Structure 1
């Protein structure tokens, strides 16, 4: 059963009709993650892949190209996103689809009779999880010995320009508090080894209004829990400050790799 916040997240992404046009950072991040995956699996290409939060299929399409012999189970919390991935990939017999909260994978997958996954991956879905350590334990239990979990997520310095604009104008900022690299390093489960790296992606934005509109278009405008809706006057102050000081927004991206111990 989905929590109220997960229901809200699914609704946001279901309503993101112009996702592909606005998702520049998502495309770049998916490509970087795919490159990390290709490098990490060169000796042992995966045959069974699980993707969490497939969105409209940016990463899915690259996985199928990288691993033509693999099967891919593409999952997402939002039905509309699964439909868009299916439309992007066409009638590819290697792909199956499941409507699923990636934080709570299907329980039957943990049964001994179910073949484990060689690769579990996700691009910019991890930041929506409410309990990452428990999610890691559940997901890593689904890996084959020597299998890999490889994900990307937003880190603490993401959207700093908008935070700064809100702070300077004493405007409440609804941007979620993202974790630090050090915090994520402490969350790896037992039974394998993991590490995180990070990078900065910079996106050009003509104005604050366009920046905020594009966040809505990609379903990423859901504020942190407890945030109250801004009054229009406060929002206008933050927008003016942003426009006077910024023409880019930075996304602090973390890339995580966990390898399950071999038997």
Structure 2
């Protein structure tokens, strides 16, 4: 099995397992959807909008935001995890939705079949060049992709604290904004707007933060090897290191290095 295929299986398994707990812990994910909706409102596609892709829809929170902004559009709700898709119908009140279980790096969509694409906190698990090329292929000329993904400073507090415990890679590193923009340009997409303001998960203690990360399925993606549970001494070291980040309001933060992009397909593209 190739490393890429192993990674894909790991992603699917992690988010299938998290489907039942995702909505209870996804406060940051909901905030990001609202931020992405604000960006989308200021960067509409040219012409009418009849078909939109939600690429990596998860349990479907973003679908109502998309439907509210584009009430006449049909939405393709795509996710790689079948258990996530199974929750879409019960979570969304939008009526014109077609669930689709597929890979963001191999979209089963015809060229130029989309007026817009929305993707909130899904593409960070993908190869930027592959996934953006697929989205660009499916967009019509003048169509827009609204992307929320994560940068390399995501969960930096956790990475710094774990460095006091061992040398293992406990936190996956994501691509910086310049990498995403370069991949977009190569795919024929031009960045017309961006926002790099971070988002924060908050909890009263470290156990609460880690519990929420586990509940949304992101805890095991990108691990290089199976690790034994932390012993008591290591846990105390981890807690003490993380405690230095406690905010004046008493909460412990976990930073999400958020990258918001509006990418327009060139009008002259005859893909």
- For normalisation by structure 1, the TM-score amounts to 0.89
Contact 1:171 1:235 in 2 (8 A): no
State the 1:181 CA deviation. 1.5
Cα 1:71/1:5, change in 2 over 3 Å: same
Cα pair distance change 1:223/1:76, threshold 3 Å: closer
My pick for the range that moved more, 193-202 or 208-217, is: 193-202
Superposition pairs of residues 205-224 of structure 1, within 5 angstroms: 205-224=203-222
Shift, 1:19, TM fit: 0.9
Please give the residue correspondences for 1:67-146 in structure 2 after superposition, counting only pairs within 5 Å: 67-90=70-93, 92=95, 94-106=96-108, 109-110=110-111, 116-129=113-126, 131-146=127-142
RMSD over equivalenced CA pairs, Å: 2.2
Q: Which residue of 1 aligns with 2:40?
A: 37
C-alpha displacement at 1:120, in angstroms? 1.1
Partner of 1:153: 149
Asked whether the 8 Å contact 1:174–1:223 carries over to 2, the reply is: no
The answer to whether the Cα contact below 8 Å between 2:54 and 2:119 also exists between their aligned partners in 1 is: yes
CA distance in 1, matches of 2:217, 2:37: 22
User: Which of 167, 170, 173 is 2:169 aligned to?
Assistant: 173
Q: Summarize the Cα distance change of 1:249–1:191 in structure 2 as closer, same or farther, 3 Å threshold.
A: closer
Structure 2 CA distance for partners of 1:103 and 1:232, relative to 1, 3 Å: same
> Helix, strand or coil for the counterpart of 1:41?
coil
Q: Which residue of 2 aligns with 1:46?
A: 49
Per-residue deviation at 1:13?
Answer: 1.2
Say whether the 8 Å CA contact 1:23–1:218 is kept in structure 2. Answer: yes
CA contact (8 A) 2:45 2:116 kept: no
Structure 1 position 218, deviation (Å) = 0.7
Structure 1, unaligned runs of 5 or more:
none
1:41-79 Cα shifts (integer Å, max 9, x gaps): 186452210111101111111101111110000010111
Per-residue Cα deviation, 1:194-216 (whole angstroms, up to 9, x for no partner): 25431111222211111111111
Moved more, 36-45 or 17-26: 36-45
> 1:238 aligns to what?
238
Q: 1:245 to 1:90 in 2, by over 3 A?
A: closer
